[in-house]
Chain A
Amino acid sequence: MIRLENVNKSFGDLKVLNDISITFESGKTNLIIGQSGSGKTVLLKSIIGLHDVDNGAIFYNDRNFTELNHKGKKEIRKEMGMVFQGGALFDSLNVEENVRFPLDMFSTMSEKEKSKRVAFCLDRVNIQNANHLYPAEISGGMQKRVAIARAIALNPKYLFCDEPNSGLDPVTAIVIDNLIQEITKEFDMTTIINTHDMNSVMEIGEKILFISKGYKAWEGNKDQIFNTENQALNDFVFASDLFKNIKKST
C-alpha cells in the first residue's frame, strides 16, 4: 500500500502538484490519468523519489519515504520495480543480462539460481528465444515485456509503470496491460500506472486517480468513471466520438 498525504511540488514559481492525497492499494492496478502537462509524471517521479516533494508525505506501508535518509530510501527502492515509457533497457546488455542485472546487484543467489529466476521472469512475460538479443534488436512490445521481466526479477512489492503501452499497437497494448494486471495479482504488488490511454483505463482501471492542472480532480474505478459528473474528467475520458457513443449506449 502506498499512501500520499497532501503532496505538493513546485518548480520555481510553477506549482505542479497541489495537495494530492490518495491511497493506492496492494493487489490492484492503480492508474494515474490526466492530460499531458497535468502533473502525472511529476507525481509518479515524486512517489518513487526521483523528485523531492516540497511538503506532504508519501508512505510505503507505514514507512514515511519523504522523511527517510538516503540509506532508508535505498532500502525501499530495492522493493520497487519500474517500467519506463521507453523501456529503459540497458543498451550494452542483452535481454538475459538486463533481467539478471538487479539480481547481480542485490541478490545473494548462486549463478544457477539467478539463471533459473531469469528464465522464470522471461517465461512469465512470454519471451522465448531472445535471451542473447540486444534491446536494439527486439520490437517495442518485446522491450516493454523485457522491462517488466526486469522489474519483477527481485519480487518487488511496488511496481511503477510510466505509459507502459505508449507507441504500441492496440493488440500489444492490451497484452501488456493484462500482463501487468496478472502480475500485480499474482505477486500482490502495489502497482501504479501512469497513462492517458483510455483503453487501459477501461481494461485494468481498478483504482483511478484523475489529475487536472496539478490538483486531484477525481478518484474512483473504471465502472464509476461512466457515471461521473466531473466535467473535467468527462471532457478527458469522452473526448473521442467513439467513447461518447459508448457512453450514450450505456
Chain B
Amino acid sequence: MNLFEHVGKFSRFLLLVLSKPEKGKLFFSQIVKEIHKLGINSIGIVVIISLFMGAVISLQTAYNMLNPLLPDYLVGYTTRESMLLEFSSTIVGLILAGKVGSNIASEIGSMRVTEQIDALEIMGINSANHLILPKIVAAIFINPFLYVLSVFVGILGGLSAGYLTGTVPISEFIYGIQYGFIPYYITYSLIKTVVFAFIITAVPSYYGYYVKGGALEVGKASTKAVVNSSILILLANVILTQILLK
C-alpha cells in the first residue's frame, strides 16, 4: 500500500472515529479509564526521564562554559529553555509514542484478530468510534499535564545536579530559570503536545484497527505504529515550529 492509499484510508478511518459517541455516559467513563491507562500510568517514566535529562542538560552546559565571562545563571536558563521548548514536548512525545503507541496498536490489533471488533460491529456499534475516540480525547486531555510535570521535574533535576556537583549555586540557577522568560513558549509547546497526543493515539489505533492475520501481524503492526508515529511527531515538530515561532 503506497503513501496516498494510506492517507486516504486514514482519512476514512478518522471520519469513523470522530463521529458522535453512541452513549455519552459510557463514553465519559471510558475516557476516565483511558486517562488512567495512557496518562497516569505514564507518570513514572516521564518523571524518571525528565529528572535525569534535566540533570544532564545542566551538567553539560556547566562543563562546556569555559569562558569566565559567561555567567553561571546561563546553566539554569539553558536547562529551562531545553526542557520547555523541546524535551518535555517532543522527546516525551517520542517516548510515549513507544510506550503508549505499541500498547494501543497491540490492544486494538488483538481485538481485531480475536473478532472482538466484529462482535461490536454486529451489535450495530461503530467500533472505531467506541474504541478509539476515548483514547484520543484522553491523551489530548492528559498529555499537557504530563508536559507541565516534565518541565518542572526536569528543571528540578538540573537544579539538584548543579547543586550536588557544586557546578552552579542554587541562587544563580534560580535566577537563570527566570531570566528572559517568554510565556508564549509554553503556549507553543502545549500546542505541540496536543498535536503529538493526537498522533500518538490515532496512528497506532489505525495500524491496530486494520490488522489482518494473527499474533505475528499484530506484532508487526505494533512496530509500524511506533516507527511511523515517531516519524510523524518529528515532522509535525518541524512544521509547527516553523508556523508558531516564525
* A120-133 interface bits toward B, Cβ cutoff 8 Å, 1 = contact, 0 = none: 00000000000000
Which of B22, B26, B111, B115 has the largest number of chain A CB atoms within 10 A?
B115
Cβ–Cβ < 8 Å partners of B111 in chain A: 90-91
Cβ–Cβ < 8 Å partners of B125 in chain A: 105
A14 within 8 A of B: no
Cβ–Cβ < 8 Å partners of A85 in chain B: 115
B123 touches A78 (CB 8 A): yes
A88 within 8 A of B: yes
* B1-43 interface bits toward A, Cβ cutoff 8 Å, 1 = contact, 0 = none: 0000000000000000000001100100000000000000000
B116 touches A88 (CB 8 A): yes
B222 within 8 A of A: no
The CA-CA distance from A5 to B186 in the complex, in Å, is 64
A60 within 8 A of B: no
CB distance from B44 to the nearest CB of A (A): 22
The CA-CA distance from A105 to B125 in the complex, in Å, is 8
B68 within 8 A of A: no
A84 within 8 A of B: yes
A82 touches B116 (CB 8 A): no
Nearest A-chain residue to B126, judged by Cβ: A74
Range for the number of chain B residues in contact with chain A: 10 to 19
CB distance from A235 to the nearest CB of B (A): 30
Cβ–Cβ < 8 Å partners of A102 in chain B: 123
Tell me if A's interface is mostly helix, strand, loop or mixed: mixed
A104 within 8 A of B: yes
**Given known contacts A104-B23, A105-B26, is B121 in contact with A50 (CB within 8 Å)?**
yes
Nearest B-chain residue to A84, judged by Cβ: B115
B235 within 8 A of A: no
Cβ–Cβ < 8 Å partners of B22 in chain A: 105
Cβ–Cβ < 8 Å partners of A77 in chain B: 121-124
A90 touches B122 (CB 8 A): no
A105 touches B115 (CB 8 A): no
Nearest A-chain residue to B22, judged by Cβ: A105
B114 within 8 A of A: yes
Partner of B118, one of A50, A75, A89, A105: A50
A88 touches B119 (CB 8 A): yes
Nearest A-chain residue to B29, judged by Cβ: A104
A86 within 8 A of B: yes
CB distance from A72 to the nearest CB of B (A): 11
Cβ–Cβ < 8 Å partners of A78 in chain B: 123-124
A91 touches B122 (CB 8 A): no
Cβ–Cβ < 8 Å partners of A48 in chain B: 122
The CA-CA distance from A88 to B114 in the complex, in Å, is 6
Write 14 A-B pairs (CB below 8 A) sorted by A numbering: A77-B124, A80-B123, A82-B122, A84-B115, A84-B118, A88-B114, A88-B118, A90-B111, A91-B114, A104-B26, A105-B26, A105-B125, A106-B124, A160-B122
5 new A-B contacts, CB < 8 A, other than A82-B122, A84-B119, A106-B123, are: A50-B118, A74-B124, A88-B118, A91-B116, A105-B26
Lowest 6 CB-CB distances: which A-B pairs, in order? A77-B124, A88-B115, A88-B119, A74-B124, A82-B122, A84-B115
- Identify the A interface with B (CB < 8 A): 48, 50, 73-75, 77-78, 80, 82, 84-86, 88-91, 102, 104-106, 160
